[in-house]
Amino acid sequence: MTGAESRTQRPGPQPELTDGVVRLRGYTAADLDAVVASCSDPLTQRWTSVPSPYRPEDAEFFVCEFAPRQWNNGTGAVWAVTGHDDDTYAGSMDLRLSRNDPARANVGFHCAPWARGRGWTTAALRLACGWGFDKLGLARIEWYAFAGNDASRRVAEKAGFVFEGVQRARLLQRGERRDAWVASLLPSDLA
């Protein structure tokens, strides 16, 4: 999945990635209940744009339609995050390619409440970004979060992202425009 080809050709099966700490894999139906529980968490609701309330049919759409469609359309990759030796759902990692610039992407992620504090989200973010640079030839990966989301900012900065500032009314959350923090990662930042 590279450049303009990524949007016109099915790239084959989505890769599974691991670094010995975490594993990024495609979603399965076995993840549905954990996705509902994770996305119903008050912190996840506060800092993401997942539907509120989050229902089983929202998880089914995300797991069975949205995530595979991103890969099949060549517009991104959406992974379930697990421990390297534990297949229990621990969060989500999403790498979305820019529509206008095939060398640019942005990331989105959340950590399930039962997996917080382990460093897995930072490891998963490094893994996804490294894959994006190495396999997709990306030159820049951007991170956005609602201003005030200190936990997400810590994850991004630990992964090497460089904070660039605030964009006013940048993100939409359930019909409301909110200010966003923005940071970027270049291949040289990940080294």
Q: Are 49 and 145 in contact (CB under 8 A)?
A: no
CA distance linking residue 136 with residue 120, whole number of Å:
23
Task: Give the pLDDT of residue 5.
Answer: 41
Report pLDDT for 11.
Answer: 61
| Listed residue (149, 133, 38) closest to 92, CA to CA | 38
State how far the Cα of 43 lies from the Cα of 114, in Å rounded to an integer.
12
For residue range 93-104, what is the model confidence (pLDDT) as tens digits?
A: 999 999 999 999
Check residue 10 and give its pLDDT.
Answer: 46
Res 173: pLDDT: 87
**What is the per-residue pLDDT for 172?**
87
**Which candidate, 114, 138, 121, places its Cα nearest to that of 1?**
138
C-alpha span between 16 and 35 (Å, rounded): 19
pLDDT in tens, 105-129: 999 999 999 999 999 999 999 999 9
DSSP, collapsed to helix, strand or coil, labels residue 20 as coil
Residues 6+ apart with CB under 8 A from 188: none
Domain boundaries, the chain: 3-190
CATH number of 3-190: 3.40.630.30
> Contact 30/63 with Cβ under 8 angstroms?
no
Please list the rounded mean pLDDT of every run of 10 residues in the chain (191 residues): 44 90 96 98 93 96 96 95 94 96 96 96 97 96 96 97 96 91 96 69
pLDDT at 8: 40
